[in-house]
A and B are shown apart, each in its own frame.
Chain A
Amino acid sequence: KAGVTQTPRYLIKTRGQQVTLSCSPISGHRSVSWYQQTPGQGLQFLFEYFSETQRNKGNFPGRFSGRQFSNSRSEMNVSTLELGDSALYLCASSPAREGNEQFFGPGTRLTVL
């Protein structure tokens, strides 16, 4: 099976702009989670989607949002970008509602100037 894919792999934006990142889970996986990875804060959970519904949300401001489509592909959006949003955004998919292992994608490197 193909692994989790994320697009784009690299992105440069300026403050105030918005950005949309995409994640395609492993075929058959219905749960998609998003994490932010920064040198200072490490890996932090953003949100999880299952069957097009957000199940859990981390402690991030409302500028961070996401959605999941019927084919389980997911997008996350960040509006009004700030310098501190520069990070590696990781997507992970798992097979079932009570999912076990999470399989991670390569990440999208977002740089905010």
Chain B
Amino acid sequence: AQRVTQPEKLLSVFKGAPVELKCNYSYSGSPELFWYVQYSRQRLQLLLRHISRESIKGFTADLNKGETSFHLKKPFAQEEDSAMYYCALRSGSARQLTFGSGTQLTVLP
């Protein structure tokens, strides 16, 4: 069975500090990994996916198959980054997303 673990429920950093949101997964095949974000009073939206290898809003995430991790990083956090972040996995055979429990990021002024 596939599983996504986000070990931190809450994470606070100061504006301008680096931020890393951790995500580990368990899946025997080749997964697709995603980061979704939910800003206050807004709907869940895709932030980035490992396939595209792009940087969105300064965030990057690298898939490390050896460590089965997909940590989300940003070198300089901004106050507008405060939100709930979900790591998600989609397996090859099933089309549904398996979500982690989420990390609430707060960027302090």
Binding site for B on A (CB under 8 A): 3, 31, 33, 35, 42-45, 48, 55-56, 58, 90, 98-99, 101-107
Contact = CB atoms under 8 A, between A and B. Distances in A.
B86 interface: yes
Contacts of A98: 95
Nearest to B100: A42
Interface in B1-48: 43-46
A102 B95 CA distance: 10
Contact of B46 (A35, A56, A102): A102
Contact of B45 (A31, A42, A104): A104
A45 B101 contact: no
B13 to A, nearest CB: 23
Given A31-B95, A48-B96, A99-B95, A43 B43 contact: no
B48 to A, nearest CB: 10
Contacts of B100: 42
A61 to B, nearest CB: 17
Contacts of B69: none
A56 B44 contact: no
Contact of B97 (A3, A102, A107): A102
Contacts of A99: 95
A45 B97 contact: yes
Nearest to B46: A101
Nearest to B94: A56
A75 B99 CA distance: 22
